[in-house]
Amino acid sequence: MRRPSRSPEGYPSSVAAVEPPSDFVGVAVDLRLVLGRSESASVVIEGVVAYPTGFAFEIIATHPPDAALRERGLLAGVPRHRYWQDAAHGATQREERVAVYLRLPDGRSMASEPSLAAAQEPSDSPLRPFRAHAERSWIRAHYWIEPLPGPGILTVSCEWPVFGIASNTSSIDTSPIIAASARSAPEAI
């Protein structure tokens, strides 16, 4: 399902967010990776599910409930109804939001936010979730990547400066994702 995309600063407005196909049953990939951690927060990738045309994954960002955040208005209202672009509980400054960057084996790159890190190259397109949810001390965002990446290394980076998570990069071999996608089957109707 294609949805109109917002046009974040620095990205083309023609890129649309999409979700996994509803007519196929995806296959879970055994992958859980800590992308970043500080004394007060963590960012994890998990829930990877492969389909013939791409793969979905979930980013979970956790932090302790903090009175200072409330005073700054970042935990005000009902955060569960905010979207990922401001899902960091109403964050208005880039350093307050979780930023996720992907580089696929074919060289394509995607980013949820323009990088604050000087070492991070500009991305080809925005990385937007097809579903996001925030609560008092966590944020969950689900992403869809299409087309399915080829063999090689998928590089995932993240940063969350407000909670002391500096830019951190991890590598993922795409072989398990590709193998799982071959086992995905049409949904029985």
Q: Taking 80 as the threshold, does the pLDDT of residue 182 lie above it? A: yes
Share of the chain above pLDDT 70, in %: 69
**pLDDT (tens digit, 9 = 90+) per residue, 56-88?**
999 999 987 765 555 555 544 444 333 334 444
Dihedral (CA of 44, 75, 113, 51) sign: positive
Mean pLDDT to the nearest integer, 35-59: 95
pLDDT of residue 144: 95
Question: What residue has token string 């013939």?
Answer: 52
What is the per-residue burial (b if ≥16 Cβ within 10 Å, else e) of 110-141? bbbbbbeeeebeebeebbbbbebbbeebebbb
Residue 2, helix vs strand vs coil: coil
Cβ contact 42:34 at 8 Å: yes
Higher pLDDT, 120 or 21: 21
Share of the chain above pLDDT 90, in %: 47
Query: Can you say how many angstroms the Cα of residue 123 is from the centroid of all Cα atoms in its chain?
Result: 14
pLDDT of residue 98: 85
pLDDT confidence band for 119 (50 / 70 / 90): low
- The CATH number of domain 24-180, selected from 2.70.98, 2.60.40, 3.90.1570, 3.40.50: 2.60.40
| Residue 115, amino acid | S
**pLDDT (tens digit, 9 = 90+) per residue, 154-176?**
999 999 888 889 989 999 999 99
Cβ contact 148:178 at 8 Å: yes
pLDDT of residue 83: 30
State how far the Cα of 167 lies from the Cα of 182, in Å rounded to an integer.
33
What is the DSSP pairing of strand 109-111 with strand 27-28?
A: unpaired
**pLDDT (tens digit, 9 = 90+) per residue, 11-36?**
333 344 489 999 999 999 999 999 99
Q: Taking 70 as the threshold, does the pLDDT of residue 101 lie above it? A: yes
pLDDT of residue 124: 81
For residue 21, say if its preceding peptide bond is cis, omega within 30 degrees of 0.
no
Mean pLDDT to the nearest integer, 171-185: 97
Cβ contact 5:15 at 8 Å: yes
